[in-house]
Chains A and B, each alone.
Chain A
């Protein structure tokens, strides 16, 4: 099995984002692997354990993304490829094209894993675009997966606590969510090994993509106003409950 996992290098969800200029932000904050992609990496490693083969990490990002790729190598992925760009907010279609090109140049995927969404730009579409480019079936929001013979059965969360059980033939694309598995932590041995694993880098300009063909362009980024300290109610539980009911009805007008 040749399994590709697409991971994005993103700011840690716990940090504050300070907007700089028209549509940039202070990038000196801590960056990590996009949280959903951790489930994608883990699933790929578990499948390789049983079926054999290779897990290849692919990322489109700045040079600093090598750190996140190494962290995936440290938990067991075999090697990595970085497509270098100079922006955090590359158009989704271009990102998908870049991922497609490097994967195509590298090998022939039996499975491609992604997360369900990036937590920075929240595009929610890369798995679908990859599937269309490779002409493969795709399911995203996958919370359970089992491998069959030439196929895979996944469970997709569809809301209200319900799931669709979907069977897909291989090769295919899977978008992971929390719950799919328990991602492992890297240990010292893994981290040491990762340093020696192969990590290729290629510039996006060398992939022959038309960077100007982007259909979406971020034109402004603004901080979202924080709400202030609320009105604190006083009294017994009953008194507070009654006051809140009235406030929600008459002041906030949401009931």
Chain B
């Protein structure tokens, strides 16, 4: 029996993000191992019910003696590495989210452990993971060796399956010192509370013809009608100044794999596909029937986005 760790990510209000459940499912594999949930920012009490449902048997609250772990990624990674050693955890799983990627990479660097990020599949028995190379153009299988390994999983890539057990909550005090070399001075919140693209189940994206920042309103309205949907942009829309860079989907923007991706006024350039081709269902709305995006989507709507998108918003609303 091996000890396997799962770094649990919580939201601002201290709830377990639901994207963790697929990660726990992957870490559980065929069973037979002890699964540790590792919490850096979060209370065992509020997280216990959610994570034990998926098979976390031990839930560890990590803190540091005399140092504040919150918003100090360097210290967090040191504490996490210590906890892994203490509990003899030789495989660590986590989310390949913005926060997860950073802390997993820091931890792997400290432990000098092999690391694979953005994995979409895990085979514990064979010690292999699968992920994309070349932005979704190829699918790679990677064999991991060594005493300890760390693996980040793309949000929503692995389906969550319940496997209930009773979690024991415990705490671990790491002995780490702040090097004082880096300090998070401020958190600049985005202009609006947006759903993060890389963690969203549904995404609606606007291309260059959206024409202005204000016009993104039709997409935000539709996103609302779709549920917890995020709004993205093509590079042309970003470079034209209609949307901030962090809304860009694609090769030089974000890689997403939601259940549903709706591209509005996006031509379907290879670099755009690079960021969204692994979405489960792709819908294209474009006024040119010969737009390349129609050749690689599931549903195509030929029409003016300024007419079709509001109509879709309406149809979704009246359907609810």
Interface residue ranges, A against B (CB under 8 Å): 11, 13-14, 16-17, 19, 23, 25, 35-36, 91-93, 119-125, 128-129, 131-133, 136-141, 143, 153, 155, 157-169, 172, 178-179, 214-224, 226-233, 237-238, 240-242, 244-245, 247-249, 252, 254-255
**Complex Cα–Cα for A247 and B283 (A):** 11
- Map CB proximity to A onto B97-110 as digits: 1 under 8 Å, 0 otherwise: 11101100110111
**B246 contacts A219, CB within 8 Å?**
no
**B110 contacts A254, CB within 8 Å?**
no
Closest CB in chain A relative to B11 CB, distance in Å: 11
Q: Does B307 interact with chain A (Cβ within 8 Å)?
A: yes
Q: Does B136 interact with chain A (Cβ within 8 Å)?
A: yes
**A215 contacts B298, CB within 8 Å?**
no
Contacts of B189 on A, CB cut-off 8 Å? 161-162
Beyond the given A163-B188, A165-B184, could you list 14 further A-B residue pairs with CB under 8 A, ordered by the A residue number? A19-B138, A122-B118, A160-B190, A166-B183, A178-B245, A217-B145, A220-B140, A228-B296, A231-B298, A238-B311, A238-B315, A241-B312, A249-B319, A255-B260
Closest CB in chain A relative to B226 CB, distance in Å: 7
Across chains A and B, which 9 residue pairs bring their CB atoms closest together, nearest first?
A: A161-B190, A215-B114, A132-B109, A241-B311, A128-B105, A241-B315, A179-B245, A220-B141, A237-B311
**B315 contacts A125, CB within 8 Å?**
no
Q: Which of A14, A162, A232 contacts B300 (CB 8 A)?
A: A232
Q: Which of under 10, 10 to 19, 20 to 34, or 35 or more describes the interface residues of B? A: 35 or more
Count chain B CB atoms within 10 A of each CB in A122, A221, A226, A237 and give the residue with the most.
Answer: A237
Q: From A224, which residue of chain B is reached at the shortest CB distance? A: B139
Q: Return 28 A-B CB contacts under 8 Å, by A number.
A: A11-B134, A35-B251, A91-B114, A119-B134, A122-B132, A128-B106, A128-B108, A157-B98, A158-B98, A159-B99, A159-B196, A160-B190, A161-B244, A161-B246, A164-B71, A164-B187, A168-B183, A217-B142, A221-B133, A222-B138, A223-B138, A226-B296, A232-B301, A237-B310, A240-B311, A245-B316, A252-B299, A255-B260
Q: Which of A16, A164, A224, A254 contacts B136 (CB 8 A)?
A: A224
**A230 contacts B298, CB within 8 Å?**
yes
**Complex Cα–Cα for A227 and B299 (A):** 11
Closest CB in chain B relative to A84 CB, distance in Å: 22
**A233 contacts B300, CB within 8 Å?**
yes
Q: From B307, which residue of chain A is reached at the shortest CB distance? A: A237
**Complex Cα–Cα for A191 and B138 (A):** 34
**B145 contacts A124, CB within 8 Å?**
no
Contacts of B194 on A, CB cut-off 8 Å? 160-161
Q: From A240, which residue of chain B is reached at the shortest CB distance? A: B301
Number of A-B contacts (CB under 8 A): 265
Contacts of A220 on B, CB cut-off 8 Å? 140-141
**B282 contacts A122, CB within 8 Å?**
no
- Map CB proximity to A onto B240-257 as digits: 1 under 8 Å, 0 otherwise: 000011111001110000
Count chain A CB atoms within 10 A of each CB in B74, B191, B281 and give the residue with the most.
Answer: B281
Q: Which of A122, A168, A222 contacts B117 (CB 8 A)?
A: A122
Count chain B CB atoms within 10 A of each CB in A136, A232, A245 and give the residue with the most.
Answer: A245
**A254 contacts B281, CB within 8 Å?**
yes
**Complex Cα–Cα for A133 and B146 (A):** 19
Stretch at the interface among B20-28, B62-70, B269-277: B269-277
Q: Does B280 interact with chain A (Cβ within 8 Å)?
A: yes
Contacts of A160 on B, CB cut-off 8 Å? 190, 193-196
**B183 contacts A223, CB within 8 Å?**
no
* With A124-B117, A254-B260 as contacts: A13 and B284 at CB distance below 8 Å: no
Contacts of A240 on B, CB cut-off 8 Å? 301, 303, 308, 311
**Complex Cα–Cα for A155 and B95 (A):** 22
* With A16-B137, A221-B140, A227-B296 as contacts: A165 and B185 at CB distance below 8 Å: yes
Contacts of A223 on B, CB cut-off 8 Å? 137-139
Count chain B CB atoms within 10 A of each CB in A11, A223, A224, A228 and give the residue with the most.
Answer: A224
**A252 contacts B245, CB within 8 Å?**
no
**A227 contacts B117, CB within 8 Å?**
no
Closest CB in chain B relative to A119 CB, distance in Å: 6
Q: Does B45 interact with chain A (Cβ within 8 Å)?
A: no
Q: Does B13 interact with chain A (Cβ within 8 Å)?
A: no
Q: Does B143 interact with chain A (Cβ within 8 Å)?
A: yes
- Map CB proximity to A onto B129-162 as digits: 1 under 8 Å, 0 otherwise: 0011111111111111110010000000000000
Q: Does B202 interact with chain A (Cβ within 8 Å)?
A: yes
